[in-house]
Amino acid sequence: MIRANCRERFTAADFEFIVRTLARSQTDHVSIVDLLSDGDTRDSILDHPRLVEAILSHPVQLRISSQFYFYVLARHVLRQAAINDRKLCDYVASLLETFSRASQLQRPDNVGEHAHEYICDMLIALQRLSPEQVFLLRAHIGNYSLFISGIFHENAQRRRDRGGPDLKFYEQIGRTNYQLVAGHEVARRCELDDVFEGLAERFRDVRLALNELSDRLLNLDEDARPSLVL
C-alpha cells in the first residue's frame, strides 16, 4: 500500500545533496544541517528552487534516492498548479516512485491471484474480494488512473484513437475510486483519508501537473516505461 512517506525515507546522501546545493560557506553548512533537524524548516528548505535546478542541470548521475528525486520534482509541478498540500504531494511522489517500477503497475500485493493490467479487469475483480481487499484495489485503481493519465497521457491519447478509453475516463474512474476509499476505516487508520479526499477533489489539476512533469522532466520509451532523466 502506498503511503505519504517519501520525506520520512530520505537518505544521508539526500541531505548531503541539499547541503551541498544550498550552502555557500562552511558556516552555512552547519546552520543548514541544524535546520534540517526541524520538520517544518526542512519542508521549507525542500521548496527551494535551487534544488530543482540542481537536479535538472547536474551533468552526471546524481547520488540521490528515488524518493527524494520524485518528491522535489512532484512538489515543484504541484506548487506551480497551486496545489500546496505537502502531504498530498508526498503521496503523489510515493506513487511515482512505486509505479516507476513497471511491475507495480499491475496490482497491489496480496489482492487476488492474478495480475490485473486493465481497469476493466480490476473492476470485475472487486466483486470477489473481501472489504479490505476492495479498499486496496480501489486505491490502486485511483493510483493507476492518475499515473496513466498523468505520466502516460500521450500513450492514453494514442490508445483512444484505436478505441481505448480517453483521459476523461481515467479522470472519472480515478476520482470516483479515491472518493470511495476516502471514507474507509483503513484510510482513516492510515491517516490517508484527507489525501484521498484531496485527490478526488483535484484529480484533474494533479493530472495536468503530472502531464507537465512527464513532458518536461521524464523520458518515456516506446514501451511506455518511465526513465529518469538525471
Share of the chain above pLDDT 70, in %: 83
Q: Residue 112's pLDDT is what?
A: 47
Region 204-230: what's the mean pLDDT? 68
Exposure class string for 47-69: b at 16+ Cβ within 10 A, else e: eeeebbebbeeeeeebebbbbbb
What's the pTM value of the predicted model, to 2 decimals? Answer: 0.85
Region 202-217: what's the mean pLDDT? 94
Q: Residue 108's pLDDT is what?
A: 54
Does position 226 have pLDDT exceeding 80, yes or no? no
Does position 225 have pLDDT exceeding 60, yes or no? no
| Residues 6+ away with beta carbon under 8 Å from 222 | none
Q: Which long-range contacts (CB under 8 A, 24 or more apart) does 118-121 make?
A: 119/144, 119/145, 119/165, 119/173
Q: Residue 184's pLDDT is what?
A: 95
Which of 73-87, 124-138, 145-159 tops mean pLDDT? 73-87
- Stated as kind and residue range, the H or E segment containing 113 is none
Q: Residue 110's pLDDT is what?
A: 46
From 219, 213, 196, select the one nearest 2 (Cα to Cα): 196
Query: Three-state DSSP class for 11?
Result: coil
* Structure confidence at residue 222 as a pLDDT band (50, 70, 90): very low
Q: Residue 115's pLDDT is what?
A: 42
From 83, 76, 120, select the one nearest 204 (Cα to Cα): 83
Query: Three-state DSSP class for 159?
Result: helix
Cβ-contact 151, 214 below 8 angstroms: yes
37-90 tens-digit pLDDT? 888 889 999 999 999 999 998 756 788 999 999 999 999 999 999 999 999 999
Q: Give the residue, 128 or 102, on which the prediction is more confident.
A: 128
* Distances in whole angstroms, Cα of residue 73 to Cα of each of 89, 146, 171: 10, 16, 22
For residues 69 and 46, what is the distance between their CA atoms, to the nearest angstrom?
11
Q: Residue 161's pLDDT is what?
A: 66
From 34, 3, 4, select the one nearest 18 (Cα to Cα): 34
For residues 166 and 174, what is the distance between their CA atoms, to the nearest angstrom?
13
